[in-house]
Amino acid sequence: MAGHKIDPEKGIKIRSGIILFAAVTCIILLSLHFFYIQISQNSKYSSRVDDLTKTGKSLRGKRGEIFDCNGNLLVANQPCVRIIASPCNIKTDTLRRKAAGLMVEYLGGDFSFYYKKLAPVVRRRQKDGSFVLKPNVYQQIARFAPCDKGYRLQEELQKIKINFNTVSFQEISRRIYPKGKLLANVLGYSDLEKDNDVPRSGLEKKLDSAIAQKSGFTEYGRARDGKRLDYVDNIVKPSQDGKNVYLTISEPIQAILEEELDRGMAEYAPKTIYAAIADPATGDILAIAQRPTYDPNDRSTYKSEAIPNRIAEDAYEPGSVVKPFVISRALDLGVIHPGMIFDGEQGKWEEERNLRDTHDYGQMDVAKIIQKSSNIGTAKIAKLLGKNQVYLTLLLFGAGQKTNLPFPIESSGRIATPAKWDKYSITRFPIGYGVLWTPLQLLRAYCGLANNGLMPQLNIVSRYENTATGQITTPAKKSFLQLFRKPDTAAQIVEMMIKVTQPGGTATRAAIPGYEVAGKTGTSHRVINGRYSNQKLASFVGFVPARKPRLVMLVSVDKPSKIGTHGGTVAAPIFSRTAQRILQYLNVAPDQPVPEK
């Protein structure tokens, strides 16, 4: 037995060894397990934890704003708060009444409106037509509440223990138009759908690729009860702001034009008026306006006849405003010279299917043809020029070609090829019938006449500004188109067009005291159901000061019903009043001393 006796010290050592071995093994196994969890399976478990605790929201960024050439804000973003409630979480009626009272205090409106919205249950229609009561889990209290009032309401609601689970406040941004109706048809408007701006018309739509923001994403931790764990957002993908756009439009000039169009609407009660102003030297559009129009901030003014940008979308037969194109081309090609005399055919040219003038002008030189707006004289010049040259002339001045301004819809007008002309086309096209022009095409062509025969491309966007980097980009400027071969043709036609606004001309009402005005009236009959009607479209296109023009303006009045129906009596006064005020604003010195009143 003595041989089997174990030494106690040795026993302790063995037991210690075993315990040590077991402990080390445990530690190693634990370490291996930790390694497995923390390192090998890290992504799996991290994502599982993130799923349970992390939540995220999209970062919207800021949509680019639109300014005029002087930095006046035309389209802006307005921060506001959307208030959403889950009224079923409000336990007592007293609390509901208190909440409704606070909403009245901060958001305005009627108590019963909010109280009804905060009802714990709502009636829902079933498929079979019956109604059931369901918990009221979602109610929009306010769509665009002002930020300051929204936040104060939030604080007050928290004081009465109505937390964010019951009433939530989402910070959103909406598009506003600080100048109201100003330039509304050109700027267009955008809607807010699912927190995203959806452009509907105008520059908002066409320039969307530049001004739209790029959304980002941020995440933060939250507890099971919805409370935030991280105070600072972890931005996963930063948002990008849209570019700001600066237009060539001048807000004061635009305002003057719109004011005068309002006056024109009151005086002549037409169906529509449209007008546009451009700088002939650069082709920059300074103002575009139309009536009727709408206020993009006020949905009740959104009417189908008010929203389209008619100045780009409408094409019409403009009448006599086209005459200077053909006459100047004939002068340039040497087909006629200013001293040539044409017979007025006693006001009625029977050979050409009774082409008429308003009076018998007798023997006319070229200047008188323009001054009196003689259809017969112009038709005779066109016949001298020939069919193909007339067609080429109209093409040269931009008929049938878009101006490529950034409008979602732009009409190109219409001009038939000579092969499709009938025998009267050559006498009708040069007097503004049979060819559809858009107001912008006419404006561009007159810029060419005013700019010594160099026709510019029209521009409305001056520059883009990257708000993050401050980088400015300008759209590529296109070259000018030379209209005439002889250097003095433009000056000759301008001299003739000055006479239009002087005594004896058709547009004496377009004259501005102290300034020489060159221009041309146009009156055309509107086509209704395929026939020319008695409804008229009166136009005046002119530039001032005539010899060194600062602005070219087109005014078209559709279906004027009071006072008169001719370009000289309806459109010319609008031109005169508007141009006079703009010249004052631009501080353009008069050509002659201004007569004392």
Partner 1 sequence: MNIQSGHTTRINRQSNRKVQQSFGRHTARLIKALILVLAVTAAMVVNTNLNQRIAETRSLIAKEQRRKNTITNEIVLKRNRIEELSSMAYICRKIDQYGLKLHFANPGQISKMTLRSNVSCEHRFAAWLRSRESISSMTAAR
Q: Count residues near partner 1 (CB under 8 A).
A: 35
Residue 1 C-beta: closest distance to partner 1, Å: 25
d(CA 501, CA 543): 11
Using DSSP, state whether 422 is helix, strand or coil.
coil
Residue 514 C-beta: closest distance to partner 1, Å: 8
Residue 295 C-beta: closest distance to partner 1, Å: 12
Tokens representing 270 are: 């037409």
Tokens representing 20 are: 């040590």
Beta-carbon contacts of 353 under 8 Å, excluding residues fewer than 6 positions away, are 424
Binding segment for partner 1 (CB under 8 A), chosen from 176-184, 301-309, 377-385, 522-530, is 176-184
Q: Does 583 bind partner 1 (CB under 8 A)?
A: yes
Exactly one of 69, 95, 98, 151 binds partner 1 (CB under 8 A); which one?
A: 151
Residue 428 C-beta: closest distance to partner 1, Å: 42
Q: Does 180 bind partner 1 (CB under 8 A)?
A: yes
Q: Does 492 bind partner 1 (CB under 8 A)?
A: no
DSSP 456: P
d(CA 91, CA 14): 69
d(CA 296, CA 175): 9
Residue at token pair 């949905």:
299
- Quick one: 79 or 109, whose CB is closer to partner 1? 79
- Quick one: 135 or 513, whose CB is closer to partner 1? 513
DSSP for 515-568?
B--EEEEEEEEEEETTEEEEEEEEEEEEEESSSS-SEEEEEEEES--SS--SII
Q: How far is CA 76 from CA 63, 65, 79, 198, 542, in A?
A: 9, 5, 10, 15, 34
Q: Does 77 bind partner 1 (CB under 8 A)?
A: yes
Site string for partner 1, 217-246 (x = CB under 8 A): -------------xxx--------------
d(CA 545, CA 543): 6
Residue 412's closest CA among 403, 423, 422, 425?
Answer: 403
Site residues for partner 1, 154-173, by CB under 8 A, read 171
d(CA 478, CA 398): 15
CB 318 within 8 A of CB 436: no
Exactly one of 119, 147, 265, 392 binds partner 1 (CB under 8 A); which one?
A: 147
Identity at 209, one-letter amino acid code: S
Site string for partner 1, 254-293 (x = CB under 8 A): xxx-xx----------------------------------
Exactly one of 50, 93, 148, 155 binds partner 1 (CB under 8 A); which one?
A: 148
Using DSSP, state whether 508 is helix, strand or coil.
helix
Exactly one of 146, 216, 347, 386 binds partner 1 (CB under 8 A); which one?
A: 146
Q: Does 145 bind partner 1 (CB under 8 A)?
A: no
DSSP for 223-235?
-TTS-BS-SS-EE
Dihedral sign, Cα of residue 304, residue 309, residue 313, residue 315: positive
Binding segment for partner 1 (CB under 8 A), chosen from 37-45, 142-150, 160-168, 268-276, is 142-150
Site residues for partner 1, 365-424, by CB under 8 A, read none
- Quick one: 219 or 495, whose CB is closer to partner 1? 219
- Interface ranges with partner 1 (CB under 8 A): 72-73, 76-79, 146-148, 151, 171, 176, 178-180, 182, 230-232, 251-252, 254-256, 258-259, 581, 583-585, 587-590, 594
